[in-house]
Chain A
Amino acid sequence: MIVLGSNSDVSRAFVELILQKEQLENLYLFSSNTEQTEVFKKHLLVKYNTNIEVIDLDLMNFSSFDFSSLNFDTVFCASGYLGKEGEDILERQDDNDRILKINYSSLVLVLNAISKSLIEKGKGTLIVLSSVAGERGRKSNFMYGSAKAGLTAYLSGLRNFLFSHKIHVLTVKPGFMKTKMTENLDLPKPLTISPEKAASLIYKGYKKKKNTIYIGPIWRLIMFIIRNIPEFIFKKMSL
């Protein structure tokens, strides 16, 4: 299995869950902070019997990577960058650039390269975390939201493209999750779930070959409502 964004809490939870349920021959942990990933690798080696490789991959400086030599048929992608919030969103060039590259423009190039090698193998599953934020742009994080919207559209196209090659794409749309990424935000408790719970819902979706899942399921309803608020009202709202 390939993991992109290996240092994220949900990656960790998903990796541990899948190792408890299935025997993986090889595990490739990609991240831009390999020092931290090495600690995770050590942890996994104590607990599970599998071959683990940590690979440096920085989406801010991505050109190409040859995935064909790796032994995998499942990909778990939790790469993401929320960015900073605030009124100066229009001026934060570097941060906005980072949001776009990590959530979309560099990431899809990596997923393209991975898809190419999955086609050669003739089977496989891509599990990619997008976000409910991509369903409607809001003033508080529309850079992130628009990048995730792009990613969601990319994934639905990719699913369509890979279908004839017998490769499945699962789009995961988390709502609020209690992770490192969101630890500075005050999230409403009843709507916020733990990375472990998220991982088990994702695993179920993966086993059932779902196309799109919301984490947790209540977000399907919430986003249905949010999508259907008329624009002349929505634009005045503070979301």
Chain B
Amino acid sequence: MKRTRTMANWGNFPKMDAQEVDTKLFVKLLKERTATDTFIARGNGRCYGDASLNETIVSTLDLNHFIDFDAEKGEMECQSGVLFSELLEFLVPRGFFLPVTPGTQFITLGGAIAADVHGKNHHMEGCFSEFVLDFQLLTADGTIIRCSKEENADVFWQTIGAMGLTGIILSARFRLKKIENSYIYQESIKAKNLDEIFALFEDSKDWTYTVAWIDCLQKGKNIGRSILMRGEHATNDQLSKKQGEQKYLIPKKGKLNIPINFPGFVLNSLSVKAFNLLFYYKQWSRKKKFISHYTTFFYPLDAILNWNKIYGKKGFIQYQFVTPKETSKEAMREVLSEIAKSGQGSFLAVLKLFGEKNEKAYNSFPIEGYTLALDFKVNKELFLLVPKLDEVVLKYGGRIYRAKDSLSRPELTNYLTIDEGSFDSIQNKRIKNNL
């Protein structure tokens, strides 16, 4: 198949006309290519910004088959276009879970390796690559090579986190996590300001999963007002009788849908303020303990299909940075006050403490320190705000997540080390050429 259409990732910004081909046609194109032709693999398009966009895009969604499941070893092998949601549907009833998952289950396995995704357990268990045993990589000369931490280890580590710039991942085998049921034992704790939330993260180091929702419109002494959420896979004796009867419950697919793009004015600083206020005061007591289903704990937004349309036609960006731990608090304070000043409220501001960096995974984004992920509606002011935020992140030695980048300065995203080749994206061209 071959077609030209307007493409954009989950944030609907930026948009570009691109030719999309499936993997079968790609193999043909690869043979006939000229020196200047470049390609980039794309899975389910749940990244943001201009990652995975190029004039020619290779859709891996046709690589959607399972290959092997070994319950004894706790290993799974499948083609790279398989979605995490499909994996969970299969794995959870069999007592297994994904070792690492980002905040949506609608990403592909190939995308997870390309972005070396992280989750709420990064401080304990690292990125997805920690669990990858091997993968098959289709390279520019048309050969397929098997890469693991032992075999072709150089290509293996170069591909991890390299955003598809080394080739097309066709399939992968990875380790799974054993679970007793579908549920998470969760605690939510309110924090009045940055000092409190940073202390809470330190106190919660032994929890497998930690993340905080942060109200980025607060100013002055309230900067950093947030709710920390920490969790562990529940044991069976923690479940209620009803939950225990359906230990491995998989909920029906998301029913709520945003059918159309909301008009641009729906999201403004007032509506975001109201939302944030409600979210914070919805929880009355300082600390709450409860059992939640894994979907509400890991994927709260997946319940609303097409939630990206809330941001209207012009779309939105995600801005996710990390700064080294020593400087994180100052950096965070400066970034949050810039945002509060700009009034460009982010609905979803997520704060998380990363653990140590795996030095072998040199292309991966996470370094030890605090990371903040923000959503911003695309408008004129945003183009003034991003350079200001970039300035702060740069000053404190931080970096930006390529899977979400579209507007940041190249110094923040040029941490990849790769050989130039036939795989390239408009994002990478922008970064290389300092645009």
Contacts and interface: CB of A to CB of B under 8 A. Distances in A.
Contact of A47 (B3, B62, B66): B66
A183 interface: yes
Contacts of A42: 65-68
A43 B3 contact: no
A47 B2 contact: no
B77 to A, nearest CB: 9
A43 B67 contact: yes
A43 B69 CA distance: 10
B35 interface: no
B66 A43 contact: yes
B65 A43 contact: yes
Q: Which of A42, A46, A184 has the most CB of B within 10 A?
A: A46
B1 A184 contact: yes
A39 interface: yes
Contacts of B383: none
Contact of B3 (A39, A40, A46, A184): A184
A180 interface: yes
A46 B69 contact: yes
B67 A46 contact: yes
A46 B68 contact: yes
B262 interface: no
Contacts of B290: none
B207 interface: no
A180 B90 contact: no
A64 to B, nearest CB: 31
A47 B68 CA distance: 9
B2 A184 contact: yes
Contact of B66 (A46, A183, A184): A46
Interface in A151-190: 180, 183-184
B3 A183 contact: yes
A47 B65 CA distance: 10
Given A40-B65, A42-B67, A47 B1 contact: no
Interface size class of B (residues with CB under 8 A): 10 to 19
A20 to B, nearest CB: 10
A43 B66 CA distance: 4
Interface string B76-95: 00010000000000100000
A180 B1 contact: yes
B65 A39 contact: yes
A144 to B, nearest CB: 18
B286 to A, nearest CB: 45
B67 A47 contact: no
A9 to B, nearest CB: 9
A5 B160 CA distance: 37
Contacts of A47: 66, 90
A102 to B, nearest CB: 18
Interface in A24-52: 39-40, 42-43, 46-47
Nearest to B2: A184
A180 B66 CA distance: 19
Interface in B122-166: none
A7 to B, nearest CB: 11
A183 B62 CA distance: 12
Nearest to A180: B1
Contacts of B69: 46
A39 B22 CA distance: 16
Contacts of B1: 180, 183-184
A117 B66 CA distance: 33
Given A39-B79, A42-B68, A184-B2, 13 more contacts: A40-B65, A42-B65, A42-B67, A43-B65, A46-B66, A46-B68, A46-B69, A46-B90, A47-B66, A47-B90, A180-B62, A183-B1, A184-B1
24 contacts: A39-B65, A39-B79, A40-B65, A42-B65, A42-B66, A42-B67, A42-B68, A43-B65, A43-B66, A43-B67, A46-B67, A46-B68, A46-B69, A46-B90, A47-B66, A47-B90, A180-B1, A180-B22, A180-B62, A183-B1, A183-B22, A184-B1, A184-B2, A184-B3
Interface of A: 39-40, 42-43, 46-47, 180, 183-184
